[in-house]
Structure 1
Amino acid sequence: MALYTVIGASGFVGTRLVAALRQDGHQVYTPQRGDIELFSRELGQVIYCAGLTADYAARPFDTVEAHVRLLSRILQEAHFSHLIYLSSTRLYDSSGAERGKEDSDLVLNPANPRHLYDLSKALGENLCLTVAGTRAAIARLSCVYDWAPCAPGFLSEWLQRAAVEKRFCLDSGTGVVRDYIHLDDVVASLRALSDGAVTGIVNVASGENVSNAELVGVFARNGWDISLSRETAPQRAARCDVARLASIWKQPRLVRDVVQSYLKEHHGIA
């Protein structure tokens, strides 16, 4: 069995990843903050899940620490065979392009406070690609969701609420669009990238943008009465190219299909 090291093992993705690896009999090292053994022991295949999302603006220095500083030390000092760095498809948000392709140039503005997250992730990517070379890969994740208690994110919270309420209003617009990928598909994708010692950048996404209004329709067809607080024009967003992920693993399930199955299976709505 293989040796894995998961950085950020207590987070949303890291927790599910560690459980899946251990269930299959792999040895998994999950260093805590400040663990000095991280730089002296063999790490095997590293999957770097550490990072901040919703609170990055309030914690700028922690964001840089998680996305860049610790990563740079691992690349310089640690003993590993292969590393996967979790980044984000939100790096395409400012490009204005119709397609989010791994080899596309990014458009980032240092004067934009929102781009602290993007710039720190981009720097982490750059270190992996230019310093680690053939020993590292970048997984750009789209919006990850799950219905487990306390799973973060808009759709995750929506699904958790739907488990106990059949009628409610969400504070969001009809035209907001996202590329959603289920947590289990993320875990399977990361394992495929790691086991294949993949290099370069890979979009870990569904490849489909879905609006809030479309998701409301899925719930409505299954017996829920969900409304949104405001009507908004359809958002323009780059559609992630997932051809490379499909060639390595497969194309993840579409959010409409996953939500439809969940609603039927767990709530008995025909």
Structure 2
Amino acid sequence: MQILIAGASGFLGQRLIPHLRSSGHQVTQLVRRPARNAGEVWWDPMAGMVDTAVVSAADAVINLAGAGVGDKRWTAAYKKVLVDSRIDTTTTLARAIAAAEPRPRVLLNSSAVGYYGDTGDRAVDEQSPAGDGFLADLCKVWEAATVPAEDAGTRVVLLRTGLPLARDGGLLKPLYLQFKLFAGGRMGSGRQYLPWISVPDWLAAVTYLLDADVSGPVNLTGPDPVTNAEFSAALARQLHRPNLFPVPGFALQAVLGEFAGEALVSQRVLPGVLTREGFPFRHRTIDEAMAVAVNA
């Protein structure tokens, strides 16, 4: 399969490209700097510019583009960056797909479990409604930006990704260092649910969805969401470190600002579509996933 991928510079994208190539796919990467080799093509999503011939040549498009949610404090300016970096890229690709002839068969477009807001102890799946808050509102407009591709007849899959576990990226990166330094513990009350997924399962799920008869939202989360306290205990077990130093909510607020409120929400998100499809999770428990993340 010929795959066109955008936003592959993050820790997931950097893993996805070699994974796809090792699975036999041909991959072309959209980049915003000058292209350096035959596997790269320049584009300017903020200006709505992408080569439609390159889009037309693709069997599938994967869009992972978007500024990091936890990379900076949520000033008004950075919240605009978070929105624009997702909407501009998705809109540009969706319109290019709609205009292409022939069109790619499928668009896998990033979204996030932030769509559901704070679910408390209530389990949710893809049939559950959107929640409230900045991230939920962002996910709604982000997903809506794919409509031109869907209306043109391309199968669209919305990748509502949870928390992929890797010691060099995402939520686990700062926690890994804290625990290694014997300073780890739960965040806030520890009762909030975390929708984790192992990176190998995330990669396998994305590859599976290229050909699966599935459209619409798909939760990329493990089958057994755990509380933050259970998550922290699993990390402590893997690193043979104590789990003694909780980070109170007010401390997170001082460091993260408005993002602290989102970091402490509870999201008990289940992978309903993948489960119904019989997707073979390799890492079904937090201990299995944490072992892979820590020892990879």
Q: Same fold (TM over 0.5)?
A: yes
Distance 1:19 1:261 in 2: 18
2:121 & 2:189 partners in 1: Cα distance? 22
Matched position secondary structure for 2:204: helix
Most deviating of 95-104 and 20-29: 95-104
1:250 matched to 2:280: yes
Task: Return the match for 1:39 from 48, 52, 74.
Answer: 52
Structure 2 SS opposite 1:47: strand
Q: Is the 8 A contact 1:138 1:201 kept in 2?
A: yes
Residue number in structure 1 paired with 2:225:
209
Q: In the alignment, is residue 132 of structure 1 matched against residue 150 of structure 2? A: yes
Distance (Å, rounded) in 2 between the aligned partners of 1:29 and 1:236: 37
Percent identical among aligned pairs is: 21
**Which residue identity does 1:51 align to in structure 2?**
G
Q: Which moved more, 1:240-249 or 1:44-53?
A: 240-249
Is the partner of 1:167 in helix, strand or coil?
Answer: coil
Q: What residue ranges of structure 2 are gaps of 5+ in the alignment?
A: 33-41, 44-48, 250-263
Correspondences of 1:137-152 after superposition (within 5 Å):
137-147=157-167, 149=168, 151-152=169-170
Residue 131 of structure 2, aligned match among 101, 107, 132: 107
Unpaired segments of 5 or more residues in structure 1?
109-113
What residue number does 1:228 align with? 245
Q: CA deviation at 1:37?
A: 4.9
Q: 2:194 aligned with 1:178, yes or no?
A: yes
The one-letter code of the counterpart of 2:228 is N
Which position in structure 1 is the counterpart of 2:12?
13
Going by fraction, where is strand more abundant, 1 or 2? 1
In the alignment, which of 175, 187, 193 is matched to residue 209 of structure 2?
Answer: 193
In the alignment, the residues of structure 1 paired with residue 205 and residue 19 of structure 2 have an alpha-carbon distance, to the nearest angstrom, of: 12
After superposition, the C-alpha distances for 1:25-69 in whole angstroms (9 at most, x for unaligned) are: 321111112625543322321111111311473423322222212
Change (3 A) 1:88 1:160: same
User: Within 5 A, what are the aligned runs for 1:12-161?
Assistant: 12-33=11-32, 35=43, 36-41=49-54, 42-52=57-67, 53-55=69-71, 57-58=74-75, 59-78=78-97, 79=100, 80-94=104-118, 98-108=122-132, 115=134, 117-128=135-146, 132-133=150-151, 134-147=154-167, 149=168, 151-153=169-171, 155-160=172-177
SS of the equivalent of 1:9 reads coil
Residue pair 2:150, 2:156 contacting (<8 A) in 1 also = yes
Structure 1 residues 54 and 103: CA distance shift in structure 2, 3 A? same
Contact kept in structure 1, 2:50 and 2:93, CA below 8 Å: no
Q: Which moved more, 1:239-248 or 1:42-51?
A: 239-248
| C-alpha RMSD over aligned residues | 2.9
Partner Cα separation in structure 2 for residue 45 and residue 15 of structure 1: 18
Report runs of 4+ in structure 1 exceeding 6 Å deviation: none
Partners in 1 of 2:274 and 2:290 — Cα distance? Answer: 22
Following TM superposition, by how much is the alpha carbon of 1:230 offset from its aligned partner in structure 2, in angstroms?
A: 4.9
- Please say if residues 141 and 205 of structure 1, whose CA atoms lie closer than 8 Å, have aligned partners that are also in contact: yes
Offset at residue 245 of structure 1 (A): 0.7
